[in-house]
Amino acid sequence: MPDWGEVFGLTVPVLEIVARGSVMFLALTVLLRVVGQREAGGLGITDILIVVLVADAAGAGMRGEAGSIGDSLVLVGTILFWSVALDALGYRWPALGRLLKARPKPLIEDGRLNRRALRREFMSRDELESQLRLHGLTDISQVKRAWLEPNGMVSVLPVEGKPSEEPPERPAR
3-state secondary structure 127-139: HHHHHHHHCCCCC
Helix, strand, coil shares of the chain, percent, nearest 5, are 55, 10, 30
User: Helix 45-63 vs helix 14-35: angle between axes, to the nearest 10 degrees?
Assistant: 150
Question: What φ, ψ does residue 143 adopt, rounded to 5°?
Answer: -105, 125
Q: What span, in angstroms and rounded, lies between the C-alpha atoms of 115 and 128?
A: 11
Tens digit of each residue's pLDDT (9 = 90 or more) over 131-144: 999 999 989 999 99
Residue 76's domain spans which residues?
Answer: 4-100
Q: What span, in angstroms and rounded, lies between the C-alpha atoms of 69 and 84?
A: 23
Which residues face 35 on adjacent strands?
A: none
Q: Is 168 a domain residue?
A: no
- pLDDT the model gives residue 61: 62
- pLDDT the model gives residue 64: 54
Tally DSSP H helices, then E strands, for the chain: 7, 4
Q: What is the mean pLDDT of the chain?
A: 80
Q: Which residues touch 116 (CB under 8 Å, ≥6 apart)?
A: none
One domain for residues 29 and 95: yes
Indicate which CATH number applies to the domain containing 125. 3.30.240.20
One domain for residues 36 and 93: yes
- pLDDT the model gives residue 42: 54
- pLDDT the model gives residue 115: 95
Q: What span, in angstroms and rounded, lies between the C-alpha atoms of 78 and 12?
A: 14
Could you say which residues of the chain have pLDDT below 50? 164, 168
- pLDDT the model gives residue 103: 83
- pLDDT the model gives residue 11: 78
- pLDDT the model gives residue 31: 77
One domain for residues 30 and 74: yes
The model carries a pTM of 0.60
One domain for residues 94 and 116: no
- pLDDT the model gives residue 172: 57
